[in-house]
Amino acid sequence: MANIPMLNLRREYEYMKQEIDNAINKCLEHQQWILGPEVKELEDKIARYFNVRHCIGVSSGTDALVLSLRALAIKTKNQEYFDKNDLIITPSFTFTATGDAILRSGATPLFVDIDPATFNIEPEQIKRCMKSMLKRKKSKIIGIIPVHLFGQSCLMDEILKIAKEFNLFIIEDVAQAFGGLWKNKKLGTYGITGCFSFFPSKNLGGFGDGGMVSTDDDELASLIRMLLKHGGKDKYNVDHIGYNARLDTLQSAILLAKLKYVDEFNEKRRRIAEIYNNEFKDIKMIKTPSVYPDAHHVYHQYTIRVKDGKRDKLMQFLKEKGISTMVYYPSPLHKMKVFDGRCVAFGELKETEKACAEVLSLPIEPLMKEVEIFTVTSAVNEFFRS
């Protein structure tokens, strides 16, 4: 039996062991665990990589979103939190943290349906939503959080146009798309902030939780820097309701070592996706991922659709052959208890619910061996032949 996990972090560690061990050893020597030199070095390196004015290390991707939203409430409303009547457009087909961050900032998520071909939020739906919601007197749409799901950019031209027309902010959820591009410009540089996650399984992952905010806005950057250490310029001079949400020195050191490989690994992911696409092209029962012509997909996940209710059977078949798969996501946010009575859904979100029933993500480990890739593709082909 094969043994093919979704991701093989052990193999990735072996691939760059010396550099990671050296980075950790350096920290053991200097013992500056909180906001040590590696944090600033990582922030500066990634700011150069994205060509932005500020990158701010934070404790997770979720905190990157929460801090961005809180800083924006302080900057634009002179309030610690947004109000419940402040609506923020986002997809319901995403990880729970996207919606959760909106709730924690005091605002209300307004869920809009997705493009069935790419799983990303559908700009046509956002437009329709804007028109229909304009009639509401009590609530006001203030912003959009597009999620670049599975490593692929949203249709940013159209989203930017809508944001401009209706004076909405854009905060990008780039947790799954580090290094991804829209028209040759890095994701995370289109919004007022970009929010990244260094959760171990992400395209750039640490050995624990971590995250980062990218921004060109000096005021937001300084507010986020205050919020991540208790809300003050220093410990004894506190202005805002803050958090303890710093990025660890140790994580920064590990991420600095891994950053050198992120483009190479994204290319490897793209190569695996290409093989999968080619090997699955004759299977009528599955739909391989569609890519927008202007998007450079970095395949955080390789997610297919399986038709006619066969998804769970395929999953079980592959499991019996030792091939791991995952369903991202089995439940849309608007069906979760936490969002019950705390969100607004625009329309029925039919495509979102359909995607939850059909999606299946296959192993896409950058260091997958050719024989492993073809073990997956032959097993999938075998399932649909029988």
Ligand X SMILES: *Cc1c(COP(=O)(O)O)cnc(C)c1O
Q: Which residues bind ligand X (CB under 6 A)?
A: 60-62, 94-95, 97-98, 147, 173, 175-176, 197, 199, 209, 211
Of the pair 115, 372, the CB lying nearest ligand X is at 115
Closer Cβ to ligand X, 325 or 375, answer by number:
325
- Residue 83's SS3 state is coil
* Long-range CB pairs of 274-277, under 8 A, 24+ apart, other chains included: 275/373, 275/374, 275/377, 276/302, 276/362, 276/373, 276/376, 276/377
Shortest approach of ligand X to residue 9 CB, angstroms? 15
* Residue 156: CB minimum distance to ligand X, A: 16
Q: Cβ closer to ligand X: 314 or 332?
A: 332
Q: Which is nearer to ligand X, 173 or 365 (CB)?
A: 173
| Contact partners, residue 142, CB within 8 Å, separation at least 6 | 82, 86, 87, 88, 107, 168, 169
Measured distance between the N- and C-terminal CA atoms of the chain, rounded to whole angstroms = 19
- Residue in the structure block whose two tokens are 């905010």: 213
Residue nearest ligand X by beta-carbon distance: 61
| Amino acid letter for position 14 | E
Least distance from C-beta 300 to ligand X, angstroms? 8
CA dist 318 to 181, 276, 325, 357, 376, Å? 32, 15, 8, 18, 8
Least separation in angstroms between CB 57 and ligand X: 12
| Residue number with CB closer to ligand X (74 or 147) | 147
Taken in order 303, 271, 268, 171, the sign of the CA dihedral is negative
Nearest to ligand X of 97, 272 (CB atom):
97
CB of 265 to ligand X, least distance (A): 17
Least distance from ligand X to the Cβ atom of residue 94, Å: 5
